[in-house]
Amino acid sequence: MTEIVAVPKTKAKVETERPRLHKVILFNDDYTPREFVVTILKSEFRLPEARAHAVMLTAHQRGACVVAVFARDIAETKAARATEAGAAKGYPLRFDTEPEE
Ligand code: TYC
């Protein structure tokens, strides 16, 4: 028996894109104490004191500031935990995530 095997002329090209990193963004509000924001940036995001203070100040002055970038699930978990830490104290402090370009 003669078997006819069709050989594909083109080779399937497998391209896996690297998963995008996600930014954690801190938003300003009128109620959360500055020191509390700095404390959260240090404890949840491991920012050194000076960096935490600079990020807090930029959000305070400009309305928002990128805290750091992480893999998506880590960014989302940290943003949620940090937002919850503020809510637990009755503050409207908000962190969100956004994919990097
Ligand atoms: N604007 C707040 C205040 O004056 C401090 C603050 C800074 C709050 C940054 C949130 O993301 C923030 N008490």
CATH number at residue 51: 3.30.1390.10
- Read off the tokens for 96: 């969100």
> What's the number of domains the chain is made of?
1
**Which ligand 1 atom sits closest to the C-alpha of 65?**
11
pLDDT in tens, 35-92: 999 999 999 999 999 999 999 999 999 999 999 999 999 999 999 999 999 999 999 9
For residue 23, the 8-state DSSP code is: E
**Which residue's CA lies nearest to atom 10 of ligand 1?**
28
In a domain, 84, yes or no: yes
Q: What is the pTM of this model?
A: 0.85
pLDDT of residue 18: 86
In a domain, 62, yes or no: yes
Query: Cα 11 to the chain's mean position, in Å?
Result: 38
In a domain, 64, yes or no: yes
Dmax over CA atoms of the chain, in Å, equals 83
In a domain, 73, yes or no: yes
Angle between helices 49-62 and 34-45 (to 10 degrees): 130
For 44, residues 6+ apart whose C-beta sits below 8 A from its C-beta are 78, 81, 82, 85
- Residues touching ligand 1 (Cβ under 6 Å) are 26-30, 32-34, 37, 56, 59-60, 93
Strands 21-27 and 64-71: antiparallel
For residue 42, the 8-state DSSP code is: H
- Tell me what the mean pLDDT of segment 20-40 comes to: 98
Domain that holds residue 59: 30-94
**Which residue's CA lies nearest to atom 13 of ligand 1?**
33
